[in-house]
Amino acid sequence: MLEWKGRVNGLPVCAGFREESVKRVFLPLLWEIARRPREEGRRTVAFLAGPPGAGKSTLAAFLEELSRETPGLPPLQALGMDGFHYPQEEIARRRVLRAGRWQPMRRYKGGPESFDTEKLARALETLGRGDPVRWPVYDRRLHDVVEEALEVRERLVLVEGNWMLDLREPWAGLYAFCDLSIALRGKEALLRPRLVARKVAGGLSQEDAQAFYEDCDGPNVRMCLENMRKADVELLLPL
């Protein structure tokens, strides 16, 4: 088992990856992204999607580091979709239609309705053209978006997020900007304890964390798995 330490969404993360997975899955995947044809000056844009708690952000950050440490591989830059959340102030004002009722968006933050997909589409178009672009990030310490936090430097990029391969509009339209799609799938029974533990680590009581899962994380897990398109590369947890 290879231990990896890094930062994801502003927080320190420690994860383990099987050496067999690195050799047989992750390195071939990086080479496949690097081989994707692109016009002169354009970037190759890969999408990585999966449900909450699947470890997308951690995997993307690990793949970025692995690409930089592997001789001959061009460097890949990992970018998160979460920087395209509406700002916290706007989320506090908005409402979403769930189960036939209009409810505060803040209850469903992280759901597909809480993202500015038009802004994301513009950024993906600029990204693919190869133009200079700065990318927003979501900081879990601030619980809010930090605009233009990252400079996109590389010609290979991996954009990860729950809804990047969603078959419903307006998300389905984003697929036009994807050169290679990767789906990370896992059973809800595996994801639930991860997500509850994440909320407890963030300061909620066990009871409140369980309630949050029932109200928000659980429905998002099921929505993501039910509506995610079949990808070019399918990965199944645990890796």
What Rg do the C-alpha atoms of the chain give, in angstroms? 17
Exposed / middle / buried, residue 120 (Cβ in 10 Å: 0-12, 13-18, 19+): buried
d(CA 25, CA 71): 17
Residue type, 211: A
Q: Is 216 exposed, middle or buried (0-12, 13-18, 19+ CB in 10 A)?
A: buried
Q: Residue 193: which residues within 8 A CB-CB, separation 6 or more?
A: none
**pLDDT value of position 113:** 94
**Residue pLDDT, tens place only, 61-109:** 999 999 999 999 999 999 999 999 999 999 999 999 887 899 999 888 8
What does the pLDDT read at residue 141? 81
Q: What is the mean pLDDT of each run of 10 residues along the chain (239 residues)?
A: 80 86 96 90 96 94 96 97 95 90 90 96 96 92 90 97 97 97 95 91 88 91 96 92
Phi-psi region of 72 (alpha: psi -120 to 50; beta: other; left: phi over 0): left
What's residue 142's pLDDT? 84
CA distances from 180 to 10, 115, 158, 199 (A): 27, 22, 9, 32
What pLDDT is recorded for position 198? 84
3-state secondary structure 110-134: CCHHHECHHHHHHHHHHHHHCCCCE
Question: What superfamily in CATH does domain 2-187+230-236 come from?
Answer: P-loop containing nucleotide triphosphate hydrolases (3.40.50.300)
Q: What integer pLDDT is reported at residue 158 of this predicted model?
A: 98
Distance CA 192, CA 216 (A): 11
How high is the pLDDT of residue 39?
82
